[in-house]
Chain A
Amino acid sequence: MDRALPQPTPETQHFWDGCKVGELRLQRCAACAQTYFPPRPFCPACGSRSVEVYVASGKGVLWSYVINHRPRPDMGTEPHSIAVVKLKEGPTMMTNIVGCPQTPEALQLDMPVEVTFETFGAMALPLFKPAGA
């Protein structure tokens, strides 16, 4: 079964295009300097429409997660993490932690993680792995 994939909108196209070329693209406000996520063509902190897209560090820490023991059919049959990382630039982002056992012992909160892009069909998803792994 094929993985459920995002369908970009005009406001989010830059983000998904970035994933395909290995860039985690975030937006920040020119007026108040705030980085925000998910993408939108204005700043949710101050309402300014003067915003820019930039390439983020791709680094963050594991903020919270569950290990789903009843995976969705398109996610395979083994228990897997559904995680939120806190990016170095500030926002949180849902993802999967890959490249390590899917166990509470291996998935320690606040451990450094870094983005890795995995291709599924016509899309690439931003997944995260333990930093340096």
Chain B
Amino acid sequence: MTALLEIRDLHASVGDTPILKGINLTLNAGEVHAIMGPNGSGKSTMSYVLAGRNGYEITGGDVLINGESVLELSPDERARAGMFLAFQYPVELPGVGGMSFLRAAVNARRVEAGEEEVDQLAFVKMVRAKAGELDINDDMLKRAVNVGFSGGEKKRYEILQMALLEPTISILDETDSGLDVDALKIVSDGVNMLRAPERTMLVITHYQRLLNHIVPDHVHILAGGKIRKSGGKELALQVEETGYAGIDDAA
């Protein structure tokens, strides 16, 4: 079976500074992987490199979706190939209406798949239904993208986009940061609803508590730009007890 996402000995630098120093990960269909690691270990950098953001030099290795290298693809091409990144810091877009943004994203995906663009009315219904489950009200939907949203609202809006785009590969970068207990539950439920045999997820987090809600199949510890240790969900509990220092030593 071909992996949905395969990261092979990935090395990446910003300027002359190496940040990712040989990452190997294989995400098969149906699996949820968690990446944990201290601040500055390279988690966000890895998510950006996977999504194809400019400004990183790939100095070695490869990233494959369904067995094909995507390093030459632009961010929009990777997204249309099924990848989605929920940002640690979602970006405000003053003047860009939320609904037209969501529709542009959904239609881009549809056109790629050779489907009809979704019509306005059907789209509004679709968004309302999914927004309701994430406790996102009409007022938020009408505003410019992420403008005037609280930290928690921004995270829920990321999950709404994910729900609408139905990606096969989802990367969630610290989606739990800045969420209170209730919001954490809403977001986790939203994510869990998207778990499916034909999809995979990479859940990046600094804390173990998210993983009580989104229970991973595999847990990896990233430190200093490398995966130091991999295991089952019990590894997350171990980190909770001993901290990253202990794990790092063990590596």
Task: State whether these chains interact.
Answer: no
Binding site for B on A (CB under 8 A): none
